[in-house]
Structure 1
Amino acid sequence: MDPAFEPRPARPGDLPLLPPIEEAADGLFAPLGIVFPPGDPVVRLMIDNGGDILVAGDPPIGFAAVDELDGAVHLEQIAVHPDHVRKGVGTGLLRAVLARAAAGGFPGVSLLTFRDVPWNAPWYRAHGFAELPEDRWGKGVRNLWNAEIDAGLHDLGPRLVMWRPTGPRPVPGRT
């Protein structure tokens, strides 16, 4: 990844630049038949509610929005402007989120995402996330899941909850 895109905490002047990045990134879903319901961008809601925002670039070309949920870090969203996808920006943001979660003593990172979109669940799986069974969901994750249903997000495609612990990743095939 280009060092100019190294993730950093968002500054106040970055915040108005983030909703257009989210809206542009959301356009990548249209060819898959996924068109998000109208309303405020997720990042604007995160900003208004005091969520933690990391950005890549100056001015930003991508961001990660996180919050604390059920005693862990919850990754609400990673968005990268379409002009900068497939350059390691999203991976850099994800690594920064995981590092900050580990440094903060959190047990892991949760997220909700589309099961079949290549840059969603398969991408997170390649970065060590696994599906979190419903019987392990905390109250906060369950509330988010239900809010997504109410907002019509689940009508756009199959969703799932994923989790990655912040501790050492096990070697595949070993217990």
Structure 2
Amino acid sequence: MSGSVVRVASAADLLEVPAVEAAADELFRARGVLDLPPAASARERARAWRVLVVGRPVAGFAVLERVDGHVHLEQLSVHPSAMRRGTGAVLLAATVEHARAAGARRVTLLTYADVPWNAPWYARHGWRETDDLGPQLRALAEHEVELGLARHGRRVAMARPV
């Protein structure tokens, strides 16, 4: 998939995104995380600043928002059948390019510190843990605590310069 074309999601693509998210979330079930929030609907995803997808049918997606003047990677999911083929890396590269084109200085995200396909994976792609949280990113991190995501492991903010 490393040569796959990333595109801004169409309305038809958005209908496929929830199934990809649900399939990817099954990986957390194997780690004992049984109470993740349900996958966002196509309608909810359509409200995002950008949703990038790769594959036909959609094999992976990235949901991007504008947070504190930066681009924030709100969600990145790859269907298990497309994992370990460069799909996530292609989506990350496209995320950085969209951020650059939008004039952002960095891309931020919130993730689990110790899940191998979370913070360690992002670190291999140029993201670093940060305490430099603007008010909107801090509010997102606090909302994750309210949702109970921190009970499954330490959550961290990460950033990558554009």
Alignment TM-score, normalising by the size of structure 2: 0.93
Residues 10 and 123 of structure 1: is their aligned pair in 2 closer, same or farther, counting only changes over 3 Å? same
Q: Say what the alpha-carbon RMSD is for the aligned residues.
A: 1.6
Amino acid at match of 1:97: T
**Deviation readout 1:6-56 (Å, 9 max, x if unpaired):** 2111011111110010000000112222234344x2464752533310000
How far apart, CA to CA, are the structure 2 residues paired with 1:36 and 1:44? Answer: 21
Q: Structure 1 residue 82 and structure 2 residue 80: aligned?
A: yes
SS in 2 for 1:32: coil
Q: Which consecutive unaligned segments of at least 5 residues does structure 2 have?
A: none
Q: In the alignment, which residue of structure 2 is the partner of 1:145?
A: 141
Q: Structure 1 residue 56 and structure 2 residue 50: aligned?
A: no
Residues 122 and 152 of structure 1: is their aligned pair in 2 closer, same or farther, counting only changes over 3 Å? same
Alignment TM-score, normalising by the size of structure 1: 0.87
SS in 2 for 1:29: helix
Amino acid at match of 2:153: G
Q: In the alignment, which residue of structure 1 is the partner of 2:160?
A: 164
The alpha-carbon deviation at position 118 of structure 1 amounts to 0.6
Residues 68 and 43 of structure 1: is their aligned pair in 2 closer, same or farther, counting only changes over 3 Å? farther
Aligned residues: 162
Q: In the alignment, which residue of structure 2 is the partner of 1:170?
A: none
Higher gyration radius (CA) = 1
SS in 1 for 2:52: strand
Amino acid at match of 1:27: E
Q: Percent identity?
A: 41
